[in-house]
Amino acid sequence: MKTDLNKPRGIIKSIAGENWSLTRSAPSLGLSFFVEHYWSVRWDMRESGPMVQENLPHPSVHLVFEKENTKIFGVVSGRFSQTLKEEGFVFGIKFRPGAFFPFYKRSLSEITDKTIRIEEVFGVPTKPLEDEVFSLQSESELVQFAENFLYDRLPEEDETITWINELTEKVSNDRNILKVEDLVKISGSSIRALQRVFNQYVGVSPKWIINRYRMFEALDRITKDMDWVEFALELGYFDQAHFIKDFKRMIGKSPEEYAKGIGL
């Protein structure tokens, strides 16, 4: 599954200006099977005061290095909010959908909406790794650190992960995939088999995957003057009311309120 490093999807509330920056870097070819990209966020809110960054997460596990708070994040099923204050920096590894399973070796549903320590997966203490990350200055040094760490612990490639990413890419790119039955036809698997594999390898259901990518599409396309009934049907909703309810649950405001808030 290819990633456009210049166009993040799922951003709900983004912090603009020179006091915040996001950098994303592609993995080397040898790690691209497991890693979607590396990312770092740097901020300085000492003058502006605390600000909130919000997004709808992808079906991915992240290993996030943050001072005195380094963790592995399972898939976040809802909205993710982070308050940035003072001055800080975090560095993360975003794994491809399903690609953390060979490292974890247990059902990823166990850590959906949860965090675990590095020790629980890789058997090494967090503190020395964290200290090394925060001693590095450049993005290239951070990426090299992550690559060295993963290459030393690289599991065997699993063909199921390739299959999961092919299906996820189809969901991402094909607006006609609106329900699990559509994915069943494409995959040749039963609903039960799809649910079992996605639950084990990704940590969320195929239905969640479809709903999340359709919501990404909503965020990409939304404007304040659109026909909400037609738009809801295009996204696979039974009617406008169901779309508005789902949007408000995920985003925290109605589609119209969101469109007005971002000036579209």
Digit-coded pLDDT (tens) for 50-81: 888 889 999 999 999 999 999 999 999 999 98
pLDDT in tens, 191-243: 999 999 999 999 999 999 999 999 999 888 888 788 889 988 888 888 899 99
pTM: 0.92
Cα 102 to Cα 3, 32, 149, 175, 202, distances in angstroms: 21, 14, 15, 31, 11
Domain map of the chain by residue range?
11-151, 159-261
Fold designation for 159-261: Arc Repressor Mutant, subunit A (1.10.10)
- pLDDT over 50 (residue 264): no
What percentage of the chain has pLDDT greater than the value 90?
64
Identify any residues that bridge with 18 across adjacent strands, giving them in sequence order: none
- Containing H/E element for 64? strand 62-66
Contact status, residue 98 vs residue 128, Cβ threshold 8 Å: no
Q: Which of 4, 7, 3 is nearest to 35 (CA)?
A: 3
Burial 114-134 (b: 16+ CB within 10 A, else e): eeeebeebbeeebeebbeebe
pLDDT in tens, 142-156: 999 999 999 999 999
Higher pLDDT, 131 or 137: 131
Binned at pLDDT 50, 70 and 90, residue 262 comes out as low
| The 71-73 sheet, strands edge to edge | 20-25, 35-44, 87-95, 62-66, 71-73, 115-116
Mean pLDDT lowest among 21-35, 111-125, 193-207, 211-225: 211-225
pLDDT in tens, 82-99: 888 888 999 999 999 999
Contact status, residue 113 vs residue 64, Cβ threshold 8 Å: no
* CA separation for the pair 239, 50 (Å, rounded): 38
pLDDT in tens, 154-188: 999 999 999 999 999 999 999 889 899 999 999 99
Contact status, residue 82 vs residue 50, Cβ threshold 8 Å: no
Contact status, residue 33 vs residue 96, Cβ threshold 8 Å: yes
Phi, psi of 246 (to 5 degrees): -65, -45
